[in-house]
Structure 1
Amino acid sequence: MSEADSLREAVRVLRIELRIVNDRVAMAAGLNPRDLDILDVIDRDGPCTPSHLSERTGYHRATLTGILSRLVKDGWLVRDSNPEDGRSARLTPSDRFAELREFYAPVDEASSELATSLSSHDRERLAEVLHEVAAIARRASSDIMPPEGH
């Protein structure tokens, strides 16, 4: 197996294992697995509008409206008016995010142990590589987005 094939395989295995962990966390939290994508974007990007979420996740606005209403009703998100544009809503994480962090704690702890076992240089390089892989995936996802209305 070439070095490029080996890296591709490692990324594939990581993607699969992360999807499985996320699906199990979603089940444990009583969420739909793709709800975590939305909640993660809000947690990572900070308070944002439904338009931002639609652009970032690829969900159509009509679909996203129902999902966001349910997440607000179930206490995962807080919806208020956007201070930059009073005509739109702003979504922020609620205190329930602590529940998700608790479910992810074993993975976070194991990742921290791995990080401490690496040299400073290796940790830095690994983080760079993972960010590069994430950027590749983000660019690729915009290339394969279906046209609006599908």
Structure 2
Amino acid sequence: MDRIDGSLIALRRIIRATELFGRKLAQAAGLTAVQFRVLQVVAESGHCTSTAISQRMRVSQATVTSLVDKLVKSGMVVREKSEADRRQTNIVITDQGRKTIEDAPDPLQQRYVRKFAALEDWEQAMILASLERVATMMDAEDIDASPVLDAGDIRKST
């Protein structure tokens, strides 16, 4: 096997791992990876605004609104007017949302983060540079992407 085939196989394995985790999460929690990540962001403090989610996930307000709508519909979060500022609406996690997080499989993204963080600084820099180069080689450097491991389009995860 030459290096070209080896690199394509490695890319395909990454894509497949993401797809398989997405299916596993959908079966276990009934959510996409992106919806689950929004739920995790809300769970970190118990509540937050759509703006905070948007900034944290680096996606548009419209995308967050659609994702939160789905989570509200499934009973994972509720929208409540802020007591501090009545113009602001908080997204608040429900008991069902907390249980979903507890019962969900270990997120692929969190496994990656743990293992990446354990690497030496030079190795992290090398991997980042290599991944950025691969994105450029695939003419993907200008594609809008949030730091969420999901094989699908984030806008279609709503």
Compute the TM-score of the two structures, normalised by the length of structure 2: 0.52
Alpha-carbon distance between aligned partners in 1 of 2:101 and 2:20, rounded to the nearest angstrom: 15
1:102 maps to: 103
1:81 paired with 2:59, answer: no
Amino acid across the alignment from 1:53: I
What percent of counterpart residues are identical?
Answer: 25
Q: How many residues align?
A: 121
Higher relative contact order (CA 8 A, sep 6+): 2
CA contact (8 A) 1:27 1:33 kept: no
Shift of 1:41: 0.8
Give the unaligned 5+ runs of structure 1: 1-12, 112-126
Give the unaligned 5+ runs of structure 2: 1-12, 112-116, 133-142, 146-158
| Larger helix percent | 1
User: In the TM superposition, what whole-angstrom CA distance separates every residue of 1:14-60 from its partner, at most 9, and x where no partner exists?
Assistant: 9x868854651233222122101101111124310000000001121
Structure 1 pair 84–92 and aligned structure 2 pair: CA distance change class (3 A)? same
1:34 maps to: 34
Amino acid across the alignment from 2:73: K
2:70 maps to: 70
RMSD: 4.3
Q: Which segment drifts farther, 23-32 or 38-47?
A: 23-32
Shift of 1:104: 3.4
CA contact (8 A) 1:80 1:89 kept: yes
Compute the TM-score of the two structures, normalised by the length of structure 1: 0.55
User: In the TM superposition, what whole-angstrom CA distance separates every residue of 1:54-73 from its partner, at most 9, and x where no partner exists?
Assistant: 00011211121122112112
Shift of 1:74: 1.3
